[in-house]
Amino acid sequence: MNSTTSTRRAAWTMLPTLLLMAGMSAASAAPIPPPLPRNLQALMYSTMPSTPAHSPEMALDGDQKSYFKSVYDMNDNDIFMVMFSKPIAVKSLRIVTGDADGKNAVTNAMVEISGNGIAFTKAADFDADGAASASLDGAIVKAVRIRLNGNAKLPSLLVREIKINSQAKIKSVVQGPGRGFVDYSEAPDVADWAKRMETQMDSYWAKTAEILHSDNFYTPNMVRVFYRDGDGVAGTDNGEMVVNAKWARAHDDDTGLGVHEMTHVIQATPYEPVWMVEGIADYIRWVKFEPEHFHPRINVERSKYNDSYQTTATFLGWCTNHYDDKLVTQLNDAVRFGKYNDGLFKEYCGKDVNTLWAEFIADYKAAPDKILAKPGA
C-alpha cells in the first residue's frame, strides 16, 4: 500500500521443482535421511492474525479439539506454514481443517512442501471434507504450508490439526520470529539490496509488533517478498509484498521502505482511513526505525494532519512525545477493529485534533529541525 503503487496481486511464480530432490541421491527414489535433530522446533508462521484462544501452535498440538483460527479472511496470497528448525524426513502428513460441524473446512486449497524453505511444490489437495493427506516416502521437508487455489477466498482459516509422520520428534511448537521470506529470483541483480532490506525488516519486526499490539491478538509474523520490474515503489497485499526491482536499482539507500511495507502486514487493519494507515506505516519507518535519515518538511500554510505518509507520521511522533506515548498503539488498535474517529485524539491526548495540529504547526515554525525532539531534551 503506497501512493505510487500499481502492482497488486501478481501471479505466483513457482520455482522449479527442486525441493524433493534436496537430499535425494541422483538416481535413487529413496532420499538420504538427515540425522535426527535433537531439539527439533516447529516454527508456526501465518500471514493472518489470530488470537490466544486459537493460536497457530494449536494446529500442531496433537489435539483435534483445539485449533488455529484466523481472525480475518484468507485470501489468495495468505499462507499458513510450519517451518522446522532443521529439515526432516517425512513419511506422510495429514491436515484436517474445519470445525466439528464441518464449518470453515478448506476444500479449494493445497498443501505444499519445501526441502529448503524457499521453493515449494504441491504435495496434496484438500478434499471435499477439508482434509489433505500426502505420502511423502521419506522426502526431506523443511516447511509445510497451506495455500488457497486462486479465487478461493475463505471467511476464516481453521486448522484443527497437522499431523507429521516422521522419525524425528518435534520437541516444541512456537510462533516463529517475524520475518520476510524473500524471493529475488526474477531480479537476481538486486540481491544485495534485497538482503539489506530483509535484514532491516527482520530486525525491526518484533519492535513493530510491540508498538502495534492489541490485547488478545497475535499479529501476522510473515510476509513473502518478491522483486519484479514494475511501476511505482512497492505494494503489500495480505501476505505478499512486491518491490519494484527498477526502484531498488535506482534508489540504493531506500531499503527502509521494507519497514514501511512490513508495517502494513503487522498493522492487520482494513485500508481505511488510508491517511492513518499510511501515516502509521511512515511513523514506524521514519520516526521509530530510521529517524537519523528523516527530515520532516511541513508546509505550514497548507499541510493537514490527515495528509498521510510523512506529514501524518511527523504529527503522530510529535503527539506521542508531547501527550501520550501509547498514542500510535491505541490508534492502530482502533483502526484494526474499525473504531477509528478523530475524536480519539481528544480521548488520548486531552485536546482535539485541530488544537493539537495548531500547536504542532507553532512548534514547527519555531524550530523545524526539532519538531521530533522530546520536550525538555
- Residues near Zn ion, by CB under 5 A: 1-2, 278, 281
* Cβ contact 162:92 at 8 Å: no
If the CB atoms of residues 74 and 262 are measured against Zn ion, the closer one turns out to be 262
If the CB atoms of residues 120 and 294 are measured against Zn ion, the closer one turns out to be 294
Handedness of CA 102, 104, 105, 108 (dihedral sign): positive
If the CB atoms of residues 164 and 284 are measured against Zn ion, the closer one turns out to be 284
CA–CA dist 130, 67 (Å, integer): 14
CA–CA dist 345, 357 (Å, integer): 11
Cα–Cα distances in angstroms (integers) from residue 132 to residues 64, 80, 103, 112, in the given order: 15, 14, 16, 11
If the CB atoms of residues 57 and 278 are measured against Zn ion, the closer one turns out to be 278
Q: Which residue's C-beta sits nearest to Zn ion?
A: 1
Do you know the residue count of the chain? Answer: 377
Alpha helices in the chain (DSSP H): 191-211, 245-250, 257-267, 274-282, 309-322, 327-336, 343-349, 353-366
If the CB atoms of residues 42 and 287 are measured against Zn ion, the closer one turns out to be 287
Alpha helices in 95-239 (DSSP H): 191-211
Beta-carbon contacts of 65 under 8 Å, excluding residues fewer than 6 positions away, are none
Q: How far is the CB of 257 from Zn ion (least distance, A)?
A: 9
Handedness of CA 195, 271, 147, 144 (dihedral sign): positive
Q: How far is the CB of 293 from Zn ion (least distance, A)?
A: 17
Q: How far is the CB of 147 from Zn ion (least distance, A)?
A: 24
Record the cell numbers describing residue 39, joined without a space. Answer: 531439539
* Cβ contact 83:142 at 8 Å: yes
Q: How far is the CB of 208 from Zn ion (least distance, A)?
A: 13
Nearest to 86 by CA among 141, 24, 23: 141
If the CB atoms of residues 2 and 255 are measured against Zn ion, the closer one turns out to be 2
If the CB atoms of residues 217 and 275 are measured against Zn ion, the closer one turns out to be 275
Q: What phi and psi values does residue 75 have, to the nearest 5 degrees? A: -115, 175
Record the cell numbers describing residue 279, joined without a space. Answer: 501515516
Nearest to 217 by CA among 81, 54, 93: 54
If the CB atoms of residues 37 and 232 are measured against Zn ion, the closer one turns out to be 232
Q: How far is the CB of 280 from Zn ion (least distance, A)?
A: 9
If the CB atoms of residues 119 and 262 are measured against Zn ion, the closer one turns out to be 262
Q: How far is the CB of 63 from Zn ion (least distance, A)?
A: 39
Cα–Cα distances in angstroms (integers) from residue 295 to residues 286, 320, 345, in the given order: 9, 18, 24
